[in-house]
Amino acid sequence: MTIYVDADACPVKDEVVRVAERHKVAVKMVANGGLRPSPHPLVEMVIVPEGPDIADMWIADRAKTGDVVITGDIPLAAKAVEAGAKVLKHNGEALTQANIGNVLATRDLMADLRAADPFRQGGGRPFSKSDRSRFLEALERELRHASQTR
C-alpha cells in the first residue's frame, strides 16, 4: 500500500505523514517543484517536470487497488477510482465508484457556468479546522480498514 499525495496545493501534507507513520505506510508526495524535502524515511518526494497535469498523470499511472490517493483534482480522482484506489479530498470526502460520476458532472457544469459569466465571483469556501479534522478521521479509517483486509 502507498499513499499518493497530489502535493502542489495540498493543505494536509503534515497530517498525511502523521497518519502514515502510525500505520507504517509509504507516502509519495508528487509535485512539480516548490516542496521542501522531507526527512521522514516513509516519505518520498517526487518532483515531476513542469506542465499541466504532469503530477496527476504520474499518480494516475501508478495508483492501484489498495493504494490511497489524496487530491482535490476531480479528473485525477476519477482515474484513481477507476484503477481501484481509495480517494480522499482534502476535507475528508471520499470519492468512490458510487459518487465520482456526479462529482465529475458537477465540476463540468460549474466550469461551464464560470465560462459563460466571466464576472461571476466566488469559489470554494476556505479550508477549515473541521475540514482538517474530517480528513484525519477519514484517512485513519481508510488505513485501518486496509490493514484489516490485508
pLDDT of 122 reads 62
Q: Is 112 helix (H, G, I), strand (E, B) or coil?
A: helix
pLDDT of 98 reads 87
Q: Is residue 113 pLDDT above 90, yes or no? A: no
pTM over 0.85: yes
Mean pLDDT to the nearest integer, 64-90: 94
Question: Domain 2-149's class?
Answer: alpha beta
pLDDT of 107 reads 63
Which runs of consecutive H residues, i.e. helices, occur in 1-150?
A: 13-23, 54-62, 74-82, 100-116, 129-149
With a pLDDT cut of 90, the percent of the chain lying above it is 63
> What CA dihedral angle connects 46, 96, 12 and 43, to 10 degrees?
-30
Average pLDDT, the chain: 88
pLDDT of 112 reads 62
Strand partners, 46: 30
Q: Is residue 109 pLDDT above 80, yes or no? A: no
pLDDT of 145 reads 87
Q: Is residue 90 pLDDT above 80, yes or no? A: yes
Sign of the torsion angle spanned by Cα atoms 9, 4, 16, 71 = positive
Q: Are strands 26-31 and 86-88 parallel, antiparallel or unpaired?
A: unpaired
More confident residue, 143 or 112: 143
Rg (CA), the chain: 16
Q: How far apart are CA 70 and CA 139, in angstroms?
A: 9
Mean pLDDT to the nearest integer, 134-142: 96
pLDDT of 116 reads 76
Contacts 24+ apart (CB under 8 A), 74-81: 74/100, 74/103, 74/104, 74/107, 75/104, 76/6, 77/103, 78/104, 80/4
**Total Cβ atoms within 10 A of residue 115:** 9
Q: Is residue 46 pLDDT above 90, yes or no? A: yes
